[in-house]
Amino acid sequence: MTEGYHIAILGATGAVGSRLIDQLSKSTIPVASLKLLATAKSAGQTREFKGQTITVEEAKPESFEGVDIVLASAGGSVSAKFAPEAVKRGAVVVDNSSQWRMNDNVPLVVPEVNADALADHNGIIANPNCSTTQMVVALQPIKEKYGLKQVIVSTYQAASGAGKAAWDEMMAQTEAMNHGKTAPAEILPVKGQPHHYPLGYNLLPQIDVFEDDGYTHEEWKMIHETKKIMFGDKNSDAVKVTGTAVRVPIMIGHGEAVYFVTDAGAGATTKAIQADLADAAGVTLQDDPANQVYPQPLTAEGKRDTFVGRVRPDLENDDAFHMWVVSDNLLKGAAWNTVEIAQTLVDRDLVRVPEGAAAKFPTA
Ligand SMILES: NC(=O)c1ccc[n+]([C@@H]2O[C@H](COP(=O)([O-])OP(=O)(O)OC[C@H]3O[C@@H](n4cnc5c(N)ncnc54)[C@H](OP(=O)(O)O)[C@@H]3O)[C@@H](O)[C@H]2O)c1
């Protein structure tokens, strides 16, 4: 590792972090050096990257000296603290947490949809919520051809979307129940809330905290992130978006039943939409009901694409359709989208913090 970019992964020991290491190793980004950062508790652990053994270090503001690109996946409060420190030192941060997504100085990017938003970045680029990312990848080719007036989504989200500890908790509950026992629920639906419920053999219609209007914050994120990514404004009224987010007892891969309405009279048909999706970047069409072919979390796991099937018309509205969208929440929903953003920055020669931009993100 000599020529290329100096890269740091913040949150390198987490569910997303381990995949960031893997996706970076498979990307064409030239890596001059790689730093792996986590908490003091993980310092001293080692991870492999392209045949080299790298020791995990405790993240500190000084860790970002000499770093060109930070791939961050350590949660909102950690990102609030460290991203401005990194930008101040000249590093471009691609962040997985929700901390910066709604900040007007921060582009929220899914390269298949709005890569051009990277051109004006100020040093921090946000990666969307996992459930939003796969949905906009599937909706974009439809929007481009037929317009998009309304989206109604119901999600079926895997335990790993809540991090490694939540995934372990669900596995322990399932194992215990298989033997007629119970295991405690201490994390899900939301760490730090007064009540916890088992996800093993259960469904939890709460992802993140409740807003005053009765929506969960996950649902809120899907609404406003979709508008910001696809229509350039988090409060755009060009499209109506609503939905229900549900945690389901599987390990990896979010499923989404997406109902969408195109522009009136745009002429979309199921066959035409299937053809557009089959041609779209980052999409694999799996849609052959006669042969029982449709996307599933188990077959999407470990893959970078978003899988779409069950495209069919609303029989009572000529402009409306349903589709079923599945993707690996830890890859396109997180690590792969992050690395893909970094790859796009490298390809477009955008790995630089513009002069004066760091002042937009004051350090704590
Ligand atoms: N899971 C998903 O599907 C998904 C999708 C999109 C976005 N995200 C976002 O990605 C982030 C990480 O998610 P995850 O699922 O990977 O969580 P996780 O498995 O809980 O991992 C968290 C990582 O952050 C590190 N960390 C925590 N506090 C830190 C601190 N003060 N300083 C430095 N490092 C710290 C942890 O280090 P230790 O191991 O040392 O504790 C660990 O490496 C979250 O913001 C999440 O919302 C997740």
Give tens-digit pLDDT for 293-336.
999 999 999 999 999 999 999 999 999 999 999 999 999 999 99
Helix (H) or strand (E) holding 144: helix 130-146
**Tokens matching residue 41:** 């508790």
d(CA 284, CA 263): 24
What is the mean pLDDT of the segment spanning 128-146?
98
What is the mean pLDDT of the segment spanning 205-212?
98
Contacts of residue 78, defined as CB under 8 A and 6 or more positions apart, other chains included, come to: 10, 11, 59, 72, 97
Is pLDDT at 363 greater than 90 in this prediction? no
Q: What is the pLDDT of residues 4-43, one digit of tens each?
A: 999 999 999 999 999 999 999 999 999 999 999 999 999 9
Local confidence band at 141 (pLDDT 50, 70, 90 cut-offs): very high
153 CA distance to ligand 1 centroid (A)?
26
Mean pLDDT of the chain: 97
Is pLDDT at 2 greater than 70 in this prediction? no
Tell the residue nearest (CA) to atom 15 of ligand 1: 163
Which ligand 1 atom sits nearest the alpha carbon of residue 160?
1
CA-based torsion, 27, 34, 108, 132: positive or negative:
positive
Helix (H) or strand (E) holding 271: helix 270-279
What 8-state DSSP symbol labels residue 14? Answer: S
163 CA distance to ligand 1 centroid (A)?
7
Helix (H) or strand (E) holding 215: none
CB of 207 sitting under 6 A from ligand 1: no
CB of 160 sitting under 6 A from ligand 1: yes
d(CA 19, CA 330): 7
Q: What is the pLDDT of residues 332-354, one digit of tens each?
A: 999 999 999 999 999 999 999 99
218 CA distance to ligand 1 centroid (A)?
17
Q: What is the pLDDT of residues 75-89, one digit of tens each?
A: 999 999 999 999 999
d(CA 318, CA 268): 8
Is pLDDT at 94 greater than 90 in this prediction? yes
150 CA distance to ligand 1 centroid (A)?
33
pLDDT at 65: 98
Is pLDDT at 1 greater than 60 in this prediction? no
pTM of the model: 0.96
**Active site residues per annotation:** 130, 254
Local confidence band at 206 (pLDDT 50, 70, 90 cut-offs): very high
Residues linked to residue 313 through DSSP beta bridges, in sequence order: 321
CB of 253 sitting under 6 A from ligand 1: no
pLDDT at 364: 75
